[in-house]
Amino acid sequence: MEEYWKGKLPPCGRRVYAAAYAAFSRFEERVCFSGCSPEEAAQAYGALCNDHPELYHLAYDPRVKGGPFAQFCLCIDNLYDRGERRRIDETLARIRRETVDKTARLSEREREIRVCDYLLSHTRYAVDNKRHQNAASVLVDGVGQCSGIAKAAKLLFGWAGVWSIVVNGTAQGGTNGAAGPHAWNVVRIGGQYHHLDVTFMLGANPQGCAPFRYPFLNYGDARMRTEHTWTCELPPCTQEEGEEEKRISSLYELRLRLRAVAEAGKRSFTFLSAIPAEPEKLMGLLQSACRSTVLQPGAQVRLSICGESVIIEW
């Protein structure tokens, strides 16, 4: 897993991070340290939880206690016993085998959409249990809140070979529209970084089945800041038009958009199709539009249709 947040810690925090990772991977419940403040240790623990969603058994709220010889001890509760962990690990292995492993030959964009589709079709938002803040609650029990959903997304992206991190900040949408704590992801697709908020996508897809809508898919910093705030250091995310605005209803409009994308030097385009055609016929219409717009003689085009989402690469 990408250890992005470990790299943002001070040296003492990285030492606590490494010691905690070694101990908690063995299901121990405490690790002792010196030369680091309780606040720095708690920060290191948060970084560990975000970097390693496979450590789903870790409680979200650690305790830092005084220890011997001017030491402190970072103490946690294991949320699952041995039998539960065995059941969870078997389920996660099956999910990886039946879903993510089948995406190996797909492009990064296609893998990104597949991960989103899986979460949108298998997850219900809830906040009534402290387990809902980990990846296992989402992937095994189908229930989670924003932090658990973001960690589940990172775990799936990691299996699929897509770079991603978990981001903690705030977002609008709480009681009376007030801002509240929130978690989402940053992904790297085609070498470019983008924001991705699966929790907000869930709100736009109450039906829980395809065709899905993809608001908050691949947003840039400027657009994301209209509803989200963060103070942590993130990779600069490029502005990419939201999927919700890329709904195309005619081949004429598609040709215009494809030509503009190609003239900008891009080699791919993702949109939501409202073109009236059956999937088999739509594939032929899209290939024809590409041949007449962006393809050079002898060039190849790759098309993928996932629900309403269409990915074109050339």
Higher pLDDT, 279 or 156: 156
Q: Which residues contact 126 (CB under 8 A, 6 or more apart)?
A: 132, 143, 144, 145
Q: Which residues contact 207 (CB under 8 A, 6 or more apart)?
A: none
pLDDT confidence tier of residue 285, bands split at 50, 70 and 90: confident
- Give dist(CA 148, CA 243) in Å, integer: 24
Region 56-73: mean pLDDT is: 81
224-240 pLDDT, tens digit per residue, is: 998 999 999 999 998 66
Q: Is the pLDDT of residue 175 over 50?
A: no
pLDDT of residue 177: 59
Buried residues in 112-143 as b, exposed as e (16+ CB within 10 A): bbbbbbbbbebbeeeeeeebbbbbbbbbbbeb
The 3-state secondary structure of 182-196, one letter per residue: EEEEEEEECCEEEEE
Mean pLDDT across the chain: 87
Task: Enumerate the β-bridge partners of residue 50.
Answer: none
Cα–Cα separations (whole angstroms), residue 199 to 6, 100, 170, 204, 237: 25, 20, 13, 9, 19
Q: Where are the chain's structural domains?
A: 6-75, 82-244, 246-313
Q: Is the pLDDT of residue 186 over 80?
A: yes
Q: Is the pLDDT of residue 40 over 80?
A: yes
pLDDT confidence tier of residue 282, bands split at 50, 70 and 90: confident
pLDDT confidence tier of residue 296, bands split at 50, 70 and 90: low
Region 299-304: mean pLDDT is: 78
pLDDT of residue 122: 95
Region 255-279: mean pLDDT is: 80
At residue 40, what are phi and psi to the nearest 5 degrees?
-65, -35
If you classify domain 246-313 with CATH, what class do you get?
A: alpha beta
Tokens of 193: 């970084």
pLDDT of residue 69: 54
pLDDT of residue 198: 97
245-264 pLDDT, tens digit per residue, is: 567 878 888 888 888 878 87
**What dotted CATH number matches 82-244?**
3.10.620
